[in-house]
Chains A and B, each alone.
Chain A
Amino acid sequence: MQTYNKVLKTDYEKCTGCRLCELVCAVKHDHVSSPIRSRIRIIKWEAEGVYVPMSCQQCEDAPCGIACPAKAISRNMDMGRVEIDYNKCIGCRTCVSVCPFGAMHFVATDRKVIKCDLCDGDPQCVRFCDIKAVKLVDAGDVSLEKGREAAKRLQEADRKASSLVA
């Protein structure tokens, strides 16, 4: 039974690309400033002005866990996350290869893989993102906002169509 029911939700349309989330993530976990230590990464297409925050989706059926030959990756129900047991991890980077989101990272200096641990319930990326491009929401509510936006578009289209007929 999942006791912790929150998930990270990102909204790339809002993201300003400032990468403060990367900075605070690295400092929170490793006590240094270095974007390669961040568990969340802003992927950018500068030429188009598009910035997409990418982080672990804490998959229900996580490919990293399935593929891990050392069985070092498992789901922690209490914390609502997929986590690495560093006592078992052999540093083979299979999880990096299979993650569909590129959210498993290998820190070359430490020779270890890292991933989002939701900061044990208080994600610093969420705390520092003033524009709320990264949010912590109830798992069941992830589609709420998107649904409302789609409904709004439909309603507007409907209104336009009606005015054409009238």
Chain B
Amino acid sequence: MALNRKIAYIDLTTREIKVKPIPLEIRNRFIGGRGLDAYLLYNHTKQGVDPLGPENVLLISGGLLTATLASATTRTHVMAKSALTNMLGSTNMGGFFAPELAWAGFHHLVIKGKADRPVYIFIRNGDIEIRDAGKIWGKCVQETQWAIRDEIGDPEVKSLVIGPAGENLVRWANVMTGIKNAGGRSGMGCIMGSKNLKAVAVRGTMDVTIAHPMEALEYNKRFIDQITSSKVNQTMGTIGTPFIWGATNSWGGVRTRNFQYNQCEYSDDLEPERIDEIATQTMGEYHTCACYGCQVHCRGKHRLPSGPYKGMYSEGPEYTSQGAFGAEPDCRHADTVLTCNYLVNRYGMDTLETGSVISWAMELYEKGILTKEQTDGLDLCFGNDEALIEMITRICYRSGWLADTLADGCLPSADKIGKNAFDYLVQVKGMHNLHSDERGTPALALNIATASRGSDHLRSRPAIDLYHLPEPVLRKIYSSPVPYHGPLSSEQTDYEGKPWQVFWHENCYMATDMLGICKYHTMFLGATHPNFEDWSRVVQLNTGLDYSPLHLWEAAVRCNMIERLFNLREGMTRYDLRKGEMLNHRYFDEPCLRGAPGVIGRKIDKKKFIKMVDEFYEHKGLDENGVPKPETLKKLGLESEPSHLV
């Protein structure tokens, strides 16, 4: 059953492998997936550990519900100390890897040390083997997976791999599986590369028992009907996440030319309809595909319509790539977005960070902070599609001064470039923001400032705040599973009540990541989607564990706190622009110049923003510096963590 899935400790230096059960007491407190990974990371690394050194640990896991009859429980989580942020590194991806890991007998892998030459780990039904990867080192993401299948002689092997970007220690390199299932943000692929670990391949045929199979089957049907009946998911299942673009861009929430504008003008070619048209022309009427057990099937399929890779099969693009390779560098061609999407997925690098860092460099070039000599002759101006595409390859292979500099991450780059390059950076904790512009949405601004892995939308974003839901509806959502009587506002430009919403979503998303469920199956984009109440039932039917909604909520609060403890141990301080929970001055100083009438002129009010962070800290039981109060740690049972520092 799910509960007898094990944890494997693999030392790449000594090649020693230990397999242990996951004690129920630990399960009860940290559930699984990202939550349990956070607990392990905090205990298995020492303060100030070199992220690229052998002492850093790489944690790979599935959630508690992975491979059970809970819909879309396919997410793989990977955690380590990040070499991009020098704080928490964490990523979550779809695909088919985590269920295969569970069928192979494991829920968690703890990988330590560093191999003396390129290797990959192969796991089959409880057996773990470290194999030579000399022949596959250097290959792109997809070829790596096919080569492993050929070598093992099994087309059903699923692999989590790095591409050349991870090998070359690009600080934001991804772990990847399939064509484009990407574990992005915070550079977990870089950590794999630093360990000479090219891939983890798994094949499993062991049963995962279901506690109440027939009831779980029926409940799953209801769950699915709830998911598929929402317009959001129906739309997403037809044209993928690009559907978000139309609304956010016309409204004025898409940062353009790095951060100069909040809307990409004259961008018809980037609209979801155009992307869908290309997909239809190249793949036919049905052109979306799905992760394991998911009915949302939000991933688009297409063949590249033009350019040097014309005709190549590719998946995506996501909404994030429209922003990263469309709006931010002001390159308004669908074909460019698709080419860039194709390249980052082959190289295995984060689409958001790549597009953002290049757009930042473009602004520096425009302002004369970067010279043509520093760009190695490249005319790195906004709207230069060829330069954008060229930069992606250069960064992956670190060719030239600028690419090599940028590949080390935005903060070291700002120092190296010098002058006032730092002032133009749109980052938190050393990681770029996605292309969304939060100047008109204080709740979203609070989310990116306080996210545990750096500026990021998937840790606590109350995206439904943009829907203008009536106050009674908000009250119903946000008063469960713990009561909340404070203010709530339907107006997205307000500051009132938003800290609670961010706190609520932080716990909601942690819960999905602990259970292994995709965020499109909870209150991320759909306000009617399942959350704590439903999960309590799903956990009970699938595993037999009696976790009340409140139990899951408290576990999520606990795991978020462990992540915070890790960041604090690594030097997080509230107002530090490099390691803190503060936004770049541009959010406070530069007003929105485009968008809807209510958006033009908006910027974040610094005083109100600081008050929001204060309130957010209060909800979390932190002092004014963002440090947990002793009573908070006691309440969460974390007062003696790290409990078994290894």
Contact at A124–B217, with CB atoms within 8 Å? yes
CA distance A47 to B141 in the complex (A): 11
CA distance A48 to B313 in the complex (A): 6
Neighbouring A residues of B291 by C-beta, 8 Å? 18
Contact at A46–B178, with CB atoms within 8 Å? yes
Q: Pick out which of these stretches binds chain A: B203-211, B488-496, B559-567, B580-588.
A: B203-211
Closest to B315 in A: A49
Contact at A18–B207, with CB atoms within 8 Å? no
Contact at A49–B210, with CB atoms within 8 Å? no
Which residues in window 61-88 of A have CB below 8 A to B? Answer: none
Which residues in window 295-314 of B have CB below 8 A to A? Answer: 295, 297, 301, 313
Closest to A24 in B: B217
CA distance A14 to B295 in the complex (A): 12
Contact at B293–A49, with CB atoms within 8 Å? no
Contact at A49–B313, with CB atoms within 8 Å? yes
* Nearest Cβ on chain B to A61's Cβ, whole angstroms: 30
Neighbouring B residues of A130 by C-beta, 8 Å? 224, 228, 295
A32, CB-defined interface residue at 8 Å: yes
Closest to A36 in B: B205
Contact at A19–B210, with CB atoms within 8 Å? no
Contact at B286–A127, with CB atoms within 8 Å? no
Neighbouring B residues of A93 by C-beta, 8 Å? none
Contact at A16–B221, with CB atoms within 8 Å? no
Known: A18-B294, A49-B301, A51-B289. A33 touches B313 (CB 8 A): no
Known: A32-B209, A130-B295, A131-B286. A27 touches B313 (CB 8 A): no
CA distance A32 to B208 in the complex (A): 6
Number of A-B residue pairs having CB atoms within 8 Å of each other in the complex: 94
Contact at A47–B208, with CB atoms within 8 Å? no
Number of interface residues of B (CB under 8 A): 41
**Most chain A CB inside 10 Å of its own CB: which residue of B210, B214, B216:** B210
Known: A32-B210, A49-B289. A131 touches B142 (CB 8 A): no
* Nearest Cβ on chain B to A21's Cβ, whole angstroms: 10
CA distance A16 to B293 in the complex (A): 10
Neighbouring B residues of A14 by C-beta, 8 Å? 286
CA distance A20 to B293 in the complex (A): 4
Contact at A46–B224, with CB atoms within 8 Å? no
With beta carbons under 8 angstroms apart, the residue of A18, A27, A48, A124 that contacts B295 is A18
Residue interface mask A18-59, B partner, CB < 8 A = 1: 111001100110111111110000000011110100000000
A109, CB-defined interface residue at 8 Å: yes
Contact at A20–B68, with CB atoms within 8 Å? no
Contact at B290–A32, with CB atoms within 8 Å? no
Number of interface residues of A (CB under 8 A): 31
A101, CB-defined interface residue at 8 Å: no
Contact at A49–B69, with CB atoms within 8 Å? no
A60, CB-defined interface residue at 8 Å: no
Contact at A17–B217, with CB atoms within 8 Å? no
CA distance A47 to B216 in the complex (A): 33
CA distance A128 to B288 in the complex (A): 17
Neighbouring A residues of B224 by C-beta, 8 Å? 128, 130
CA distance A124 to B207 in the complex (A): 19
* Nearest Cβ on chain A to B232's Cβ, whole angstroms: 15
Neighbouring B residues of A17 by C-beta, 8 Å? 289-290
Neighbouring B residues of A124 by C-beta, 8 Å? 217
CA distance A46 to B216 in the complex (A): 30
Closest to A30 in B: B207
CA distance A13 to B493 in the complex (A): 44
A to B CB contacts below 8 Å, 9 in the list: A18-B289, A32-B209, A37-B207, A46-B179, A49-B283, A49-B301, A128-B220, A131-B237, A131-B295
Residues of B bordering A, CB below 8 Å: 67-69, 71, 96, 103, 142, 146, 178-179, 205-210, 213-214, 216-217, 220-221, 224, 228, 237, 283-286, 288-295, 297, 301, 313, 315
Residues of A bordering B, CB below 8 Å: 13-14, 16-20, 23-24, 27-28, 30-37, 46-49, 51, 108-109, 124, 127-128, 130-131
Nearest 7 CB-CB pairings of A with B: A18-B290, A16-B297, A16-B290, A31-B213, A32-B207, A33-B208, A49-B301
